[in-house]
Structure 1
Amino acid sequence: MTTSVPTKSILSPVQQAERIQLVDILRGFALFGILLVNMALFTHPVQSLVFPVAPGTPWYDYFAEWLIHFLGDGKFYLLFSLLFGLGLTLQMDRIEARGGRFVPLYLRRLLILLGIGVIHAFLIWVGDILIFYALFGVLLLLFRKAQPRTLLTWAVILLAIPVLFQAATALLVEAGRSLPEGAEQIEQTFADVEASYRSDMERADRVYAKGGFGEITSQRVYDYVNFMFFGTLYTRGLNALAMFLLGVYFGKRRIFQDLEANRPLFRKLLAWGSILGLTGNAIYATVIVPIPRVEPSWPYLLATVAQGIGAPMLCLAYISAIALLTGIPAWNQRLKLLTPVGQMALTNYLSQSIICTLIFYGYGFGLFGTIDASAGIVLTVVIYLIQIPVSHWWMKRFRYGPAEWLWRSLTYWQIQPMRRTPASAILPDKGHYA
């Protein structure tokens, strides 16, 4: 006699008792770094990323720029990406263990995420990462059955491609300069590109600071398509996919599920991640802050290589440090404060965009362009410190954040229960995350 498992049970969303607390802590921690890095694009046009720090910048703002590049830039979206890949593995194991079909459900999740990302990028803020997650998440399916060694190999290859592309570009430009007529033509080309960037930046500066919602939306769509999507597709996209694969590797090796057994691994990752990550990012921040990024150059290549090595290594160091600290009772109690923040990470990510665009855009308080790096750090801390108690308040009363509830309800095509029952309010956070 056989017993069939109801489809609704097989495809039901992950419950509170099925989560891995470390994943939520890491996600909550990453939200601070995401906001820290994103603040520059909330307060200034996306085109400003290709220009160096302006002459005459006060030392404290220059140091703040350096610090953000050193500790934040490129590290925290990689951390989110790793957790995304981990979630794929954990959810796949959970559904297939119950006899369900994982791929259709996963593709529906990505389709809903893509929709949320498009709304976010076009109607709220230009710096969206969710679209890349949804698009490159489809490619992740190709690796779901891969062996751990294969996953690591492809992760390294994908991380190396943007660096190699930048190196090849720099070599071609330098070779062109050696030709009799090449140097002048190359300089003119990049001068024209810089002038175009500057013109776009001046227009964006005016629109975001003074424009209404319609005008800002038109500018935002233009900026996203031309700069954030096609301009970073081969860098942010491939780096995200590489860290997806590393997350799948972590899941297959059950590294987060058995922290005690993997403490030696975390100690090694912390040591090497700190050495290579801090060194690489110190070089990156020191070189990149004062130079223009319109034209490939040897300093820009050095910065690219340093970040290409340093960013993923420092990301792994962050993960390892937090994983090891959770094994110390006093630190575990402190870090658990971030759990609700991570449980509603999508909501908090989107709310950061809504809050900051209302502060800076013309249809809000119109403070665009008035906040520099040091003040941006202060504002980041203030917003994040507000999100922590709000997340605690919400998660004590509800099972999911609002965005998470919408995502799950549309994915499973069924309204999910939102309010907590007395029993669900006291369930521990452990097990699988998806």
Structure 2
Amino acid sequence: MSTTNTERTRIRALDAIRGLALCGILVVNIPSLTRMSSPARDGWEGGTEQWFELLVQQRFFPVFSFLFGLGFAIFLQRAATRTDRPRLVLLRRLVALGVLGALHQLLHPGEALLPYAIVGIVVLLPASWLPRVVVLLGGIAATGLAVFVAHGGLMLIPGMFLLGMAAAAYGVPERLERPGAAVGAVCAVAVAGAVPLVVLQAGSIETSGFDHVSPAAGLVVAVAYVTGLALLLRTPAGPALSAVLEPLGRMALTNYLGATVLVLGLAPLIGLPGTERYPMVLVLAGAILLVQVLFSRWWLGRFAYGPVEWLWRTVSWWAPVPLRRSVR
């Protein structure tokens, strides 16, 4: 089978990181989709739901948001080589994402795609005319405000988008796949910062999500996760990790939307809605991810894009995009 241009230019480490983020987002979304109860606890008692707060909540949403901003910037860069009006193509892409998000809101109120589309149009498009240093400083400032004033949540999106755009402009994605000490150094610093922040968050677990400690810890842990995975991908374990995470990441939009349908369909079968059975969240997430990995590998063996990704790309370019892999 021939290799498409998209495949030749893909940064595989980003696909794996996107796959990891998708795994975490699913674990975060299951309790909200199934309206699980969250018992009030005074202080740190070690319950499963509190481990979710320390290891999952606010850890993967920043990564997912950062990668969306980075992906939009890469798309704009590549679109500029194909058309004189790349921002028009990006605008269509964002509008299409907004439509998908609005439809997804019917199943999952509070989901991220609609805010992504709005922030993309309001923040990313204008920022695409700015020097990269201004975009970087804007991303740092917006992220700081989101953490220390708004306590994270959806308010992280503008800052993460700008930081992702700046990362693309400074060539950060390419460095993830190159041997070197930079990624290891960043990982070491992130781990060193994450430990005291997580301990601090554990001591005030009852206010997680309503203070500045939890989003700050979330960002630092997110950096540790991303750089840690980037390092692992360079080890003998890399091929096995890539085989699982890359297909998920290449079809992230399809899998993100599909997971909502699967959660809503499967959760009642195991009696999860409205309960406090947080360990079962991991069981359900694992089952869904297994199905999605197998499906994604099967699909990508036959098609160049995931089904929703293909539709999104077709609308973005307002022209048919070949879906099936060509055979020599």
Same fold, judged at TM 0.5 (above): yes
Distance in 2, matches of 1:24 and 1:343, equals 6
- Deviations 1:142-200 (CA, angstroms, capped at 9, x unpaired): 2224344333322222122234435xxxxxxxxxxxxxxxxxxxxxxxxxxxxxxxxxx
Corresponding letter in the other structure for 1:130 = L
Relative CO higher for 1 or 2, CA cutoff 8 Å, sep ≥ 6? 1
Corresponding letter in the other structure for 1:335 = L
1:272/1:333 Cα in 2 relative to 1: closer, same or farther (>3 Å)? same
1:409/1:309 Cα in 2 relative to 1: closer, same or farther (>3 Å)? same
Mind listing any 5+ residue stretches in structure 2 that lack a counterpart?
Answer: none
Partner of 2:214: 307
Equivalent residue in structure 1 for 2:51, among 67, 76, 81: 67
Distance in 2, matches of 1:244 and 1:264, equals 26
1:147/1:269 Cα in 2 relative to 1: closer, same or farther (>3 Å)? farther
Equivalent residue in structure 2 for 1:29, among 5, 9, 20: 20
Structure showing greater radius of gyration is: 1
Partner of 2:111: 128
The list of structure 1 runs, each at least 4 consecutive aligned residues, that deviate by more than 4 angstroms after superposition, is: 364-367
Q: Are the counterparts in 2 of residues 42 and 357 from structure 1 also a CA contact under 8 Å?
A: yes
Shift of 1:267: 1.8
Partner of 2:161: 244
Residue 276 of structure 2 is aligned to residue 379 of structure 1: no
Q: Are the counterparts in 1 of residues 15 and 247 from structure 2 also a CA contact under 8 Å?
A: yes
1:378/1:70 Cα in 2 relative to 1: closer, same or farther (>3 Å)? same
Distance in 1, matches of 2:83 and 2:321, equals 22
1:95/1:262 Cα in 2 relative to 1: closer, same or farther (>3 Å)? farther
Distance in 1, matches of 2:39 and 2:203, equals 12
- Deviations 1:293-317 (CA, angstroms, capped at 9, x unpaired): xxxxxx569x622123211121111
- Deviations 1:36-76 (CA, angstroms, capped at 9, x unpaired): 1111112216xx6xxx62469xx7xx521111111111121
Shift of 1:141: 1.8
Corresponding letter in the other structure for 1:80 = F
Q: Are the counterparts in 2 of residues 347 and 404 from structure 1 also a CA contact under 8 Å?
A: yes
TM-score normalised by L of structure 2: 0.88
1:20/1:260 Cα in 2 relative to 1: closer, same or farther (>3 Å)? closer
1:403/1:261 Cα in 2 relative to 1: closer, same or farther (>3 Å)? closer
Residue 71 of structure 2 is aligned to residue 87 of structure 1: yes
Shift of 1:105: 0.4
Shift of 1:261: 5.5
Distance in 2, matches of 1:93 and 1:109, equals 14
Within a 5 Å distance, the mapping from 1:192-231 to structure 2 comes to none
Partner of 1:3: none
Distance in 1, matches of 2:217 and 2:272, equals 34
Shift of 1:93: 2.1
Mind listing any 5+ residue stretches in structure 1 that lack a counterpart?
Answer: 1-12, 167-233, 292-298, 424-434
Q: Are the counterparts in 1 of residues 13 and 176 from structure 2 also a CA contact under 8 Å?
A: no
Shift of 1:94: 1.8
Partner of 2:30: 39
Shift of 1:270: 0.6
Shift of 1:262: 7.2
Residue 221 of structure 2 is aligned to residue 317 of structure 1: no
The CA RMSD over aligned residues, in Å, is 2.6
Q: Are the counterparts in 2 of residues 69 and 281 from structure 1 also a CA contact under 8 Å?
A: no
Q: Are the counterparts in 2 of residues 38 and 127 from structure 1 also a CA contact under 8 Å?
A: no
Q: Are the counterparts in 2 of residues 143 and 151 from structure 1 also a CA contact under 8 Å?
A: yes
